[in-house]
Amino acid sequence: MNITILGATGWIGGELTAQALLRGHQITAVARNPEKLTTNNITVKSFDLQSNDDITPLLTGTDVVIASIGGRAEGNHELVARTAKRLLTALSGSNTRLLWVGGAGSLEVSPGVTLVSSPDFPAEYKDEALAQGEALDVFRASNTATKWTFVSPAAVIYPGTSEGAYRIGGDAFFTNEQGESKISVADYARAMLDEAQNAAHINQRISVAY
């Protein structure tokens, strides 16, 4: 499978790239600073999502685009929803699927009540969570033909290797038997690549946690 990963120099993007290579996929890694990509056996392309350049040629011929996009580093959270809309439009005339690295803040702790609206939600992550919620709204309102999947991690995603089985949920926030919502970055990437290969949740938001 040909997979294009946007944001490949990031923490999650790097893990996705490494695991996709281990699975034998052909990887095109896209980054604003491609010199940071030193992984062997991948195709590297440069693109700045803050530019107005046409991204469509960059995505031609790929089976799946995985976008790991955030505005935190540059303080530009508007980039998130704008990129979602941009990719949906760019891929609408193709058979390429779009998988999105989402956030946990838009998960519902009760019907109609999101995690990000909880009083104890960490203030330092609120803007980022709200931006991902706006991106989810873009996906759900899209009238393009692009097939997408929005993949929310658990509330806590952390460095580490696989810890075994993960669970797939929907819009509802869920926890393990200890009341924890967590997933290692390795298992989040594993779930994302399983979805890339299996296409089991087209035009849906799913969540991944132990």
Q: What is the mean pLDDT of each run of 10 residues along the chain (210 residues)?
A: 95 96 96 85 92 93 95 78 97 96 97 94 94 98 97 97 97 97 98 98 98
User: Which architecture does CATH list for 2-209?
Assistant: 3-Layer(aba) Sandwich (3.40)
Q: Residue 34's pLDDT is what?
A: 81
Q: What single string gives the DSSP state of each residue in 41-56? A: S-EEEE--TTS----H
- Residue 74, pLDDT score: 64
Helix (H, G, I), strand (E, B) or coil at 177: coil
Q: State pTM to two decimals.
A: 0.95
- What is the residue whose two structure tokens read 């806590």? 156
Could you tell me how many residues make up the chain? 210
Q: How far is 97 from 91, CA to CA, in rounded Å?
A: 8
What are the structure tokens assigned to 40, written together? 């062997």
